Structure 1
């Protein structure tokens, strides 16, 4: 490597200041991007299909005349699935089956109860009507994102799932379209960027408005999702990918080094950190990094990521490692230890916990079953992985009996009077007899 990955020690006096600086990530906005996105959103909201076609032709080098030219028929998805090799098709189907089996356990059901006086209270759980799924296209294509976003939506009972995926230069990714076929995506439009987000959020003459937009995208997509939130729901605006490995010095240093690489290869802003109780093992991991890095096709990206945002950290013990992990609240946490199960209870903040030497994070990305859409930038302190619950909404059910109104009315009236809301108070008292 051109420079060493930083090595830290929790005993250093300035350790936590250094750690916080390492974790800091400014997701600040680029004025040029924000201005461009504002113009695109306004144009699509105003002129609908016309703007979508214009921007798609300009940015993706197409020559569409109508939105119909940008919608793929079901036959195109089935053909993409048929075009895969047997190994690809089987892997995609097996991954989809595992993701579906896991997410079926998340589905919430409506419930209610009746009080002694006959008052009925409950919660009605209903799926969203229509969801938009953004999928990166062209060479930067991720069929796993289709599985992880589409399957929980379908398990939740979403009535219509609309996928948008750019096809720059007309380039279609067969794996992405095959994933759409397997997961039962209802409609697919070959549009991307902020114009696709706008079309989903506001609706056009040909593209229906959705209730929520999910899925990853570039800076323009992220900016557009932030701006349309409130008009529609969004899943999250994710930051760079992260992995934190806690090691007790057992295991193979090559495995640990490659797990750090697996996150670092996403982009130069990705973060890979090792917390380890054994200084000798840290030396061995460092040696593995130096040996393995030249063999990686994405060597330059991994190198930049490790130099800029990576760290190998010596800690006093595993209790301290878990405390630091909770401070970091990583997207992915690997417990790379001999007795890993014993430490699960010490972890409060993490998007996903991978337990033991065999639980490599890459399996979670593709086929373990749990969702790979996870909170980043320390947001695991207050948010959760994408799941079926993100595609269901809850409605309160209140059916007050006549007897219940006699009991609740005076309570509500007293509180309403205290808030200076006399109409509330009188409305409640009207139901009270005598």
Structure 2
């Protein structure tokens, strides 16, 4: 075992701070919650404060918690690249008249779901013993495909020391290499600093005409993309396992694997319909896991029907280490769906590895189809790597207070689709984000700052 592998390490959760243009445009076909709340009036201020409260709660429990900033929206460079010219105000008014769906896309606050920001491999898993980052290309959805450039800038600003961190360009932005980031990737391990098994889940195989996939909703992650990331990250032999997502789950609204399965340490919490080849996946992970036995926590469709799992986002929860087992941080909707609430009571009363459940109110995010797990990107860091990163984005009491005041000062408490054409919203957003880069110490990461 190398020195890097034997070092102590922690898992840092980087949550996305909800942006000032948070709205419900129903842009994500295949995401049931997103479509069902289309055109509802959103509350960006409440959404951001809910997210901050979740971050602060976990930081207060002793977890290392980071913040990732929202992106500039509406994204005027995208509109100008599509042929719109004139002042920002004139462009917004014209796009609002001619193509309101396009306006909603360039105003989307979807970068809040940082589980889609990138795929991250810890130094214990890589041949060069550095932490590797690949921003997701998010090629399946136009409104999300705008994100990778700024995501890359943010990650490079936070993790700038090349001795510890390696950054890769997003994969080619085409359907054959569709990549949705950590939402389709989880890591299982005996301990964070030990070599792990990186489980890549895909819904499509682009170069196989005989591949059987979903028939109702599109699969967003390809096997080709997952394999390319494993190669780019230089994963050690035997470290990567590739698993097909169950097509039935995708057609039920499980657009990412993190809506149907979540792992932490040696524990894999999943629905029986998560994987196309359940037993093969478990056996392969088990055979490659070093230093611990895999602890699968399987939820049957009889206990929690697939539709209830999707409605509640039971599996889009955070699974976190505690002194006496695992904590499952669930969205409030889990207590509103009877089968799920009953299951959670049985879960913590049993003798399995998950010993506690805590409910978080992230309703503003949930209405757009993102639960607690969607809101965070997990980065495993050794003590040296943690010291080498930019620490101004790590949650403290002082940062929480400052960000809360910042949200209160800059965010609206109501945003409708008509508001997206308001040039004052763009002006307010840019002013807020310019101030935020100073608060977080990230430098000039936005296009409007260059």
TM-score range, shorter chain: under 0.3
TM-score normalized by the length of structure 2? 0.25
User: Whose relative contact order is higher, 1 or 2, with alpha carbons under 8 Å and at least 6 apart?
Assistant: 2
Larger Rg: 1
Larger helix fraction of residues: 1
Q: Given the two structures, how large is their TM-score scaled by the length of structure 1?
A: 0.25
